[in-house]
Chain A
Amino acid sequence: SQQGEEDPQALSIQEGENATMNCSYKTSINNLQWYRQNSGRGLVHLILIRSNEREKHSGRLRVTLDTSKKSSSLLITASRAADTASYFCAEAGNMLTFGGGTRLMVKP
């Protein structure tokens, strides 16, 4: 089965609300990376969290990592319509192993 599974697959919220996306993985990792992809575009790197870190912030983004549960979460606070995109977690080795992504829609 696929590594780096995101949950939920799709999420629809109102502008201003918080959005939480979860990611589970199956093997030991060096780090986990989160990316955003706007429709029809390439991926934009959001944040990298190392295996010895538990939480990391970047602007309105907060990422947590629980290596005992092999899971990570991405929280976007005070969402905006421009946050509408697909969000992927990726286990980082020489290559990135991506999950299927969470499609986030933020309604104005």
Chain B
Amino acid sequence: NAGVMQNPRHLVRRRGQEARLRCSPMKGHSHVYWYRQLPEEGLKFMVYLQKENIIDESGMPKERFSAEFPKEGPSILRIQQVVRGDSAAYFCASSLTGRGGTDTQYFGPGTRLTVL
């Protein structure tokens, strides 16, 4: 059973460009979470999605950031008009159920975004 897959693993963008980060959850998992990690810091929650629904986006900046998890295909985290402060590692996790606090989240290897 393949784990959580993310691509690309490394992404370089110039300021003002768009970044698209993809996440394929573990087989059978319908709950996806995105986190951001700045250097030397812990992970910060961004958004929680189920298939075709955003459940909680309280950690996501209101502008330039969006996320989706379509019925078919991977979850996408999209950052428009990137700025240097967006440089970070972005991790996706998935879980079998969304029952708060009782389910293990399995993490992907992350996408390291560098904005020049």
Contact = CB atoms under 8 A, between A and B. Distances in A.
Interface string A78-108: 0000000000101011111111110000000
A42 B101 contact: no
A41 interface: yes
Interface residues of B, number: 27
B116 interface: no
Contact of B42 (A50, A93, A100): A100
B105 interface: yes
B53 interface: no
Contacts, number: 66
A96 B100 contact: no
Interface stretch (A11-19, A25-33, A61-69): A25-33
Given A88-B42, A100-B42, A94 B98 contact: yes
Question: For chain A, which range describes its interface: under 10, 10 to 19, 20 to 34, or 35 or more residues?
Answer: 20 to 34
Interface in A24-51: 29-31, 33, 35, 40-45, 48, 50
A42 B109 contact: yes
Interface stretch (B12-20, B43-51, B80-88): B43-51
A76 to B, nearest CB: 19
Interface of A: 2, 4, 29-31, 33, 35, 40-45, 48, 50, 88, 90, 92-101
Interface of B: 4, 33, 35, 40-45, 48, 55-56, 59, 91, 93, 98, 100-102, 104-110, 112
